[in-house]
A = this chain, B = another copy of it.
Amino acid sequence: MRPIDALVRSLSEARVVTDPDVIDSYARDRTFLEPGRPLAVVLAASRDDVVATLRWASEHRVPVVPRGAGTGLAGGAVAGDGAVVLSMARMTAIRELSPADEIAVAEPGVITADLDRAAREHGLMYAPDPSSYEISTIGGNLATNAGGLRCVKYGVTRDSVLGLEVVLADGRVLDTGRRTVKGVTGYDLTGLFVGSEGTLGVITAATLRLRPAPAGPPATFAAEFGSLRDAGAAVSAIIAAGCAPSLMELLDRATLEAIDGWRGIGLEPGTQAMLIGQSDAGDGQEAARRMERICADNGASFVAVSTGPGETEELVGLRRLAYPATERLGACLVEDVCVPRSALPAMITAIEAAAARHGVRICTVAHAGDGNLHPVFVFEHGAAEPPPEVWAAADEVFTRALELGGTLTGEHGVGLLKQRWLALESGPVAAEVQRGIKAVFDPLGLLNPGKAIQQLSDVQSLPSRDL
């Protein structure tokens, strides 16, 4: 019996796919990275399927690459030769939703926005909202500790996770955390799994915190600035004033030009940045007007508060156009640096300098309240991977982010893409400790190999076709 037949036999409900074309579609994420040739895809339908798959993988020493919807931007779900892809997309049950305790227990395949909608039926919300939330899964969000637009007010995915059900590499089931909002029994294993990109175990259920949904629609403002410094000062002043925006996005000139070139928004020649913010508080309209005043006081050339849902839709719609407008210009390497909030103008300036120096188009959108920037490096459609000048510009951007006290990745994760810069941020002690933790959970090194943490063999070259 071939090992794969033993796997098929051990599964009760899961489907196993061995068609190479189908496998290939399950071996990619949203990056340009080319996968290897995995053995098979297991479409798990239950925790038992996951247990059986991991037991089998341990027995036969087969690498396992867990995945959600494959919307990742760092190569975290890209699978290599000989691996089994473990898709959690069919585990879509919301096992429990308790309005009284404001918690839900969701399986990893639940679509993020579906959980939010289920919560809204009870006057609650699930706060984390990565841009992909209509197609991303809870499991993927947990694996990357996904952020989103609302996290300026409500925090990242970690801040909404109370406990996890995890299958370890050898098939043992581990329950972490709790159903209560507080608790300090033992080490924080929950936090350890969140953001670990499937390298420590496979999450089969999560106890998630819900929050009261805002009473009414949010109030929205938009402001245009003639200088990045002014826009950055306005962001800092808004946070310092305690306005508690529920969204605060900044679009740089390159992004605004991309949108203007597509949709003709009448971009003024002097506009360097646009800031769009919302408040979902009870006194939201007042908060939006306060934020408007702060923008005006910080030199905004234009600022307005929306007076109704139509205008709000138009303003937020601009933000939504940012990626599609940029994608029209070429293939995209979407990056994700995060800097202390006060360094936002310096970081955007550095990005613009890198773009100019290397002749690369970089359009930047930022979750400004968090100091989290997404510089999108544009290169030729159809290229197998970004050309050298893009990598050179990216090197410069990452180096500058770290110099400014920032980090390589605010919310997308390390995956394969950021391996080559990891040593710049985390020292050798951290790398050693993290490999030690990995070995506790996955001594055979079978779970999503090569991702999340610095590898022993320093990855100097770019990950490419031969993963």
Contact = CB atoms under 8 A, between A and B. Distances in A.
Contacts of A188: 145, 158, 188, 191-192, 194-196
B370 A185 contact: no
Nearest to A453: B186
Contacts of A181: 338, 341, 370-371
Contact of A185 (B184, B240, B409, B433): B409
Contacts of A412: 184
B452 A186 contact: yes
Contacts of A2: none
Interface string A370-381: 111000000000
A103 B406 CA distance: 13
A147 B181 CA distance: 11
Contact of A151 (B182, B192, B425): B182
A248 to B, nearest CB: 12
A283 interface: yes
B186 A426 contact: yes
A323 interface: no
B414 A179 contact: no
Contacts of A414: 184-186
A356 interface: no
A342 interface: yes
A427 interface: yes
Q: A144, A173, A185, A422: which has the most chain B beta carbons within 10 Å?
A: A185
A155 to B, nearest CB: 8
Q: How many identical subunits does the complex contain?
A: 2
A101 interface: yes
A115 to B, nearest CB: 18
Contacts of A123: 240
Interface in A413-467: 413-414, 418, 422, 425-427, 429-430, 433-434, 436-437, 439-441, 452-454
B159 A182 contact: no
A407 B185 contact: yes
Q: A183, A215, A339, A405: which has the most chain B beta carbons within 10 Å?
A: A183
Given A168-B429, A437-B437, A437-B440, A186 B101 contact: no
Contacts of A159: 155, 159
B434 A186 contact: yes
Contacts of A81: none
Interface residues of A, number: 86
Contacts of A179: 340, 405-406
Contact of A240 (B102, B178, B339, B341): B102
Contacts of A283: 282-283
B340 A242 contact: no
B240 A182 contact: no
A265 interface: no
B100 A186 contact: no
A306 to B, nearest CB: 21
A218 interface: no
A176 interface: yes
A292 interface: no
18 contacts: A101-B340, A102-B239, A168-B433, A174-B429, A174-B433, A180-B339, A180-B410, A181-B371, A184-B411, A184-B413, A184-B414, A185-B425, A187-B196, A187-B434, A188-B194, A188-B195, A439-B440, A440-B440
- Which 9 A-B pairs have CB atoms at the shortest separation, nearest pair first? A191-B191, A212-B242, A436-B440, A100-B342, A183-B407, A101-B340, A182-B410, A180-B338, A179-B405
Given A184-B410, A185-B408, A186-B434, 17 more contacts: A100-B341, A100-B342, A158-B191, A178-B338, A178-B406, A180-B340, A180-B405, A182-B367, A184-B409, A184-B411, A185-B409, A185-B425, A186-B453, A214-B242, A283-B283, A433-B440, A436-B440
